[in-house]
Amino acid sequence: MKDEINIFSPATVANVSCGFDVLGFCLESVGDNMLIRKTKKKGIYITKIKGDFDLPYETELNVAGVSALAMYQTLNVDFGFEIEIDKKIKPGSGIGSSAASAVGSVFGMNQLLGNPYNKTQLTQFAIKGEALASKCEHADNLAPAIFGGFTLVKSIVPLVILEIPSPSNLYATIIHPQIEIKTFEARAILPKTIPLNNAITQWANFGSLIHALHTNDYDLIKQSLNDVIVEPHRSKLIPYYNEVKKTMINAGALGAGISGSGPSIFSLSKGVETAKHVADNVSNLYAKTGIAFDVYVSKINTQGIQIIK
């Protein structure tokens, strides 16, 4: 059995407009690299963090460390693990930075142990790491990172994850304005109750979106990508949100919304050419704002987290 393994841990888009806290999808071209190594010394150690971010080395304070510990506590082994993180996804970006760290450690450890745990069990461990960052247990970034494609978190207790098919010509365009929004702060501004008519609109859109993904119905995806519950509150935190959304849709996107808790904004398009056209238009718009940003175009990553050969 191998003693160390390199992992690509992908970025993800959670919520997908109408699926707050339950729906997410996995990106192909953005993610962290991680190395997990067996050590003679027992315990979990974060030994290297690359990237220009101020992340803690203390295992109990590091998202990757906390999820690794959750798994380690279930093992009866006379060795430990070291974790090296090459952090490429900026924390607080809205594309699952903490989820990528949380799943990378447990996926890598599982591989080195000969895969005793299934994907749902890995997600269960990773929830502990994610909760450190967002102060709440949710799995809508973790599940797509581990399973790939679109996933629906049916329930947290017990943890039930459904894999939803991805239409093969569906591409995401993401703009990431370089400001940080902390998930727990973006959660704190949400109302505790919602009007019944908004709930009806949201679950009609959500059901339609799931149906559209199953039936490759791009037109229905377009009609379903709406969020009447969360977007009205969180969009205020994102500079030029309405302009970006309008630009993406005018450029041909099926729909656009806040990626996770923001500030990233995602759109979905039919075909890579349209997704690139959306990227060009939104880049031209945002270049005028004076706020630094990144733009990504990605096919839906149906494989999820991977071993780097």
- Chain residues that interact with ligand HSE, rule: CB under 6 A: 14-15, 20-21, 134, 138, 140-141, 183, 186-187, 260-261
The residues, ordered by sequence, that sit 6+ positions from 116 with a Cβ below 8 Å of its Cβ are 110
In the bound state with ligand HSE, the residue whose beta carbon lies nearer, of 92 and 149, is 92
183 is catalytic: yes
- Beta carbon of residue 245, minimum distance to ligand HSE (angstroms, whole number): 17
Q: How many whole angstroms from its chain centre is CA 39?
A: 30
Which residues have C-beta within 8 Å of that of residue 256, sequence separation ≥ 6? 225, 244, 245, 248, 249, 265, 266, 267, 268
Question: Which residue shows structure tokens 């992340």?
Answer: 55
Of 28, 82, 84, 130, catalytic: 130
Q: Is 224 helix (H, G, I), strand (E, B) or coil?
A: helix
Closest contact distance (angstroms) between CB of 241 and ligand HSE is 15
Between 92 and 304, CB nearer to ligand HSE: 92
For residues 248 and 276, the answer to whether their CB atoms sit within 8 Å is: no
Q: Name 51's Cβ contacts closer than 8 Å, sequence gap at least 6.
A: 85, 86, 87, 88
Nearest residue (CB) to ligand HSE, 106 versus 186: 186
Work out how close the CB of 232 gets to ligand HSE at its nearest, in angstroms, rounded to a whole number: 14
**CB closer to ligand HSE, 15 vs 110:** 15
Per annotation, catalytic residue among 59, 151, 173, 183: 183
Minimum CB separation of residue 35 from ligand HSE in Å reads 25
Task: Show which residues are catalytic.
Answer: 130, 183
